[in-house]
Amino acid sequence: MISGNPLAELRKECEALLKGAMGSLRMEEALIKHFAFEKPPVWEFGQLATSICFELAKQAGEKPLALAQRLVQAVDKARLQLVKEVSAAGGYINFHVNFEQFSALTIESVRKLDAEYGLVKVEKPQKIIVEHTSVNPLHPIHIGQARNPMLGDALARMLSARGHTVFRHYYVDDVGRQTAVIAYGYEKLGKPKPTEKPDHFIGKIYTVTSCLVEINRLKRELERAKMVSADEEMAKISRELDDWVSVAFELKQKCPDLFERLLEKIGEDPDPEKSISELNKAYETGDERAKRLIREVSQLCLEGFKETLSRAGVFYDSWDWESDLVWSGLVAEALRKLRQTPFVTFLGGVLEFEAGKVVDVLALRERLGLRKDYEVPSLTLVRADGTTLYTTRDIAYTLWKFNKADKCINVIGMEQSLAQLQLKIALYALGFKDYAENLVHFAYNLVTLPGYKMSSRRGRYITLDEVLDEATRRAYEEVSKRSPQLSDEGKRKVAEIVGIGAVRYALVEVDPAKPVEFNWDRVLNFEKNSAPYIQYSHARACSILRKAARKPEKPDYRLLKEKLEQELVFALAEFPETFVEAVETLKPNLIADYANALADKFNTFYNAFPVIKAEPLELSDARLALVDAVRIVLRNSLNLVGITAPERM
């Protein structure tokens, strides 16, 4: 027998045994709505347990323990297959697995299903768009932003493995003041060709331009404040100006030539802020010169992004330009529809969406999980100068996405929770209830670096490129120590796989709601809870199988009698349900945790018992089959979170 979910087969048998016992005691099955099973705290108590006797005892008017004992006595022993025995303890009914049968079912299922083992398919597949990364094309992707693509890619892989049709989308945020700033600086320099990786090159131009324009603006404000003798305002502007001057000093030290050229060129403009505003507005209205300029500089930055992300194994099916939504009229159409609702008003020339009013009128508070006292702020849709805001454009983008998919998952940081809530409320206001309820904000927390404070405006950030390079360098040193027999080319190939895997795992294995502290000692730890540790465990399993130089065809699984062996078999059987839970709750960290726990059990087993030299030969064959199953499940679990499982390390 082969099963894609051995634990479900075991649970099914336990439930059938219970129902049979209840029937023989003339107890109504209807009394129990759901037979829940859990793992007992101690292995010796059994591998599955149920607490239904606590519920049944209230209805039957007897003590849980007495009822549990009666049910155990009533179990039909002739029906035992995957279950070896049933016992009662403290009101619980415990099921002890028949590992002679269960080991055969589990290990053979893993080996036969191979790459498909554990990947339980959903009954009703959906078309799902996972929009992730979507870093603004202003500077290189830095480590603070890198959690997004790693989580987004893992989600896409998991959902696809579950049987859904998944589309990976990147939303290019190219409308707004920031892109106008970088385009302004790029044009002032004469549209130079990149002298380094394009996103790094663009990032330097953006940082310096932004700083010089801000200093220019603050100097103007200070002059105006002096003219009206606004002392308090003067003091505030002076403090801010001093701060930006210190930023300028720092940037001049980092890139002196670029700084001096931009200082000269921007100094020739009587009003840089006005020029940037005009460029921003021109781009949104579709002016050809503005379109060519901003698209050119954005494309340059995206070239760098694609290089970085492809190295990390992250790819996209669609690059969606925010500007296309504006120029195509989709944003204007969304605004037109919103204006037809009673929830949009003009306040001082600004178009406002009263999100709180929607919540109250449509009684959405409970549906959205909002506290009774929480007041949802209104959302500005259009500024006084006629330009739209990011969330306004996002409403149009979301409607566009739902024309292509049943569900949309937006992988966006927690700091955008309000904007994502307002977006969902706007869908309700427009009458798109199904869209709103199938729009998921996958929120995640920040990445921090001990002893390092990142600042985009100071150009002070650690790029993902630098992190991947450093991870690969450190991995090369470790691989060289552990596998000196590998050629230098082989070491570098393994180091790239291990280094990138280490970074991906570190950004995925923490619960998305919690922050990640990126620490090299933890990221590249070959001894515990890291990608290198799990990868090394996989490579160890591959090494054992290579050295054995034989493939056991009909192993005798009855010989796997040791507790560690049986715990390992049970862990393999848990993988399919762990996978399902991880996908349904959108928690890639559950897969990472599982892979780490399986690696722990495998290494404990390996250190305790011989495999190739085990005697008799039949025992060696059974253990080789177990090692093969571990290899497959470690590989499958790592692949789900985008990590390669190397065969040699």
111 contacts 625 by C-beta, under 8 angstroms: yes
Q: In this model, does residue 30 exceed pLDDT 70?
A: no
The SS3 assignment for 589 reads: helix
Q: In this model, does residue 451 exceed pLDDT 80?
A: no
H helices of 455-513, in order, are 464-482, 488-508
254 contacts 294 by C-beta, under 8 angstroms: no
* Mean pLDDT within 143-169: 97
Q: Which pLDDT band, with edges at 50, 70 and 90, does 157 fall under?
A: very high
Q: In this model, does residue 385 exceed pLDDT 90?
A: no
Rounded CA gap, 392 and 430, in Å?
13
293 contacts 187 by C-beta, under 8 angstroms: yes
Tens-place pLDDT, residues 607-620: 999 999 999 999 99
* Mean pLDDT within 425-450: 95
Domains parsed from the chain with CATH numbers: 6-97 (3.30.1360.70), 127-174+320-448 (3.40.50.620), 177-312 (no CATH), 464-640 (1.10.730.10)
Q: What is the DSSP letter of 121?
A: P
Rounded CA gap, 168 and 160, in Å?
11
Location of structure tokens 């075991």: 10
pLDDT given for residue 228 in this prediction:
81
- Interacting residues of 513 by C-beta distance below 8 A, sequence separation 6+: 414, 443, 444, 445
Tens-place pLDDT, residues 259-285: 999 999 999 999 999 999 999 999 999
pLDDT top residue among 226 and 118: 118
146 contacts 464 by C-beta, under 8 angstroms: yes
User: What percent of the chain has a predicted confidence (pLDDT) above 90?
Assistant: 86
* Mean pLDDT within 565-580: 98
Give the chain's mean pLDDT: 94
pLDDT given for residue 227 in this prediction:
85
pLDDT given for residue 361 in this prediction:
97
Q: Which pLDDT band, with edges at 50, 70 and 90, does 460 fall under?
A: confident
Look up residue 472 and give its two tokens. 């690969």
pLDDT given for residue 214 in this prediction:
94
DSSP E strands, 115-252:
127-131, 165-172
Strands 92-97 and 407-413: unpaired
Q: What Å distances lie between residue 422 and 11, 394, 467, 628, CA to CA?
A: 43, 10, 35, 50
pLDDT given for residue 146 in this prediction:
95
The SS3 assignment for 347 reads: strand
Q: What is the DSSP letter of 122?
A: P
Tens-place pLDDT, residues 631-640: 999 999 999 9
* Mean pLDDT within 383-412: 95
Rounded CA gap, 343 and 120, in Å?
44
Rounded CA gap, 169 and 397, in Å?
11
Location of structure tokens 């590989």: 635
Look up residue 440 and give its two tokens. 């998921």
Chain CA centroid to CA 129, Å? 14
pLDDT given for residue 33 in this prediction:
65
Tens-place pLDDT, residues 309-358: 999 999 999 999 999 999 999 999 999 999 999 999 988 789 999 999 99
Q: Name the percent of the chain in helix, strand, coil, to the closest 5.
A: 60, 10, 30
Lowest pLDDT segment from 25-34, 214-223, 420-429, 543-552: 25-34
pLDDT given for residue 230 in this prediction:
78
pLDDT given for residue 386 in this prediction:
84
Which residues sit opposite 131 in a β-bridge? Answer: 169, 410
Q: Which pLDDT band, with edges at 50, 70 and 90, does 457 fall under?
A: low
Rounded CA gap, 559 and 555, in Å?
9
Using CA of residue 301, residue 303, residue 304, residue 308, what is the dihedral sign? positive
pLDDT given for residue 32 in this prediction:
65
pLDDT given for residue 232 in this prediction:
87
Closest to 18 measured CA to CA, from 55, 44, 45, 43: 55
576 contacts 118 by C-beta, under 8 angstroms: yes
Q: Which pLDDT band, with edges at 50, 70 and 90, does 215 fall under?
A: very high
